[in-house]
Structure 1
Amino acid sequence: MSHNSADRLVKMANQIGKFFAAQRHSDAVAGTAEHLKKFWDPRMRAGIIDHVAHGGAGLDEVPLQAVQKLATK
């Protein structure tokens, strides 16, 4: 995945995480993961999972944990 693609996915995931941030932490993680699962193209999900596998630079805590959750499914 190109650097620009990863940056775009990180930005989008962080925005989704911020939307759910007002909820209890575990609910925010679950909500973010569910959003990524339902609305992101499989290639986008694969890209963000790969990004996390290589350190997850730039991801906030909620989306990072959400992607980790997706990666284990």
Structure 2
Amino acid sequence: MGMNATQLIRMANQIGAFFASQPDAEQARTDFALHLKRQWDPQMRTALFAHLDATAGEGLNPFVLQALGGIREQIEPQVHA
């Protein structure tokens, strides 16, 4: 994979800053999730969540952390037994 965590964090924060400026916070988080789903390949999304798990989201801004926490199931479907 060509991207490291630092690059992914910077990109996620930049995208987050754009969506965080929307007046409706819930809609902003949904739109952020959709953007990652459409624009990021699965390896990038998996790597971002791996970083989140490993470091509790070190370096990510509060909007991104909140958005990722709320939309993980949408972005990265988990199989529940």
Structure-2 separation of matches of 1:59 and 1:14: 6
Q: Which one has a bigger Cα radius of gyration? A: 2
Identity of aligned residues (%): 42
Counterpart residue number, 1:44: 44
2:30–2:71 Cα contact (<8 Å) kept: no
Q: Give the superposition deviation at 1:27.
A: 1.5
SS in structure 2 of the partner of residue 56 of structure 1: coil
Equivalent residue number for residue 66 of structure 1 = 67
The letter of the residue matching 2:16 is G
Q: Give the AA of the match of 1:35.
A: H
TM-score normalized with structure 1 length = 0.83
What is the alpha-carbon root mean square deviation over aligned residues?
Answer: 1.8
TM-score, normalisation: structure 2:
0.76
Q: Give distance in 1, aligned partners of 2:39 and 2:71.
A: 13
CA deviation profile, 1:16-36 (whole Å, cap 9, x unmatched)? 011111212212211111100
The 8 Å contact of residues 9 and 48 in structure 2, kept in 1 or not, is answered as yes
Could you list the runs of 5+ residues in structure 2 that have no partner in the other structure?
75-81
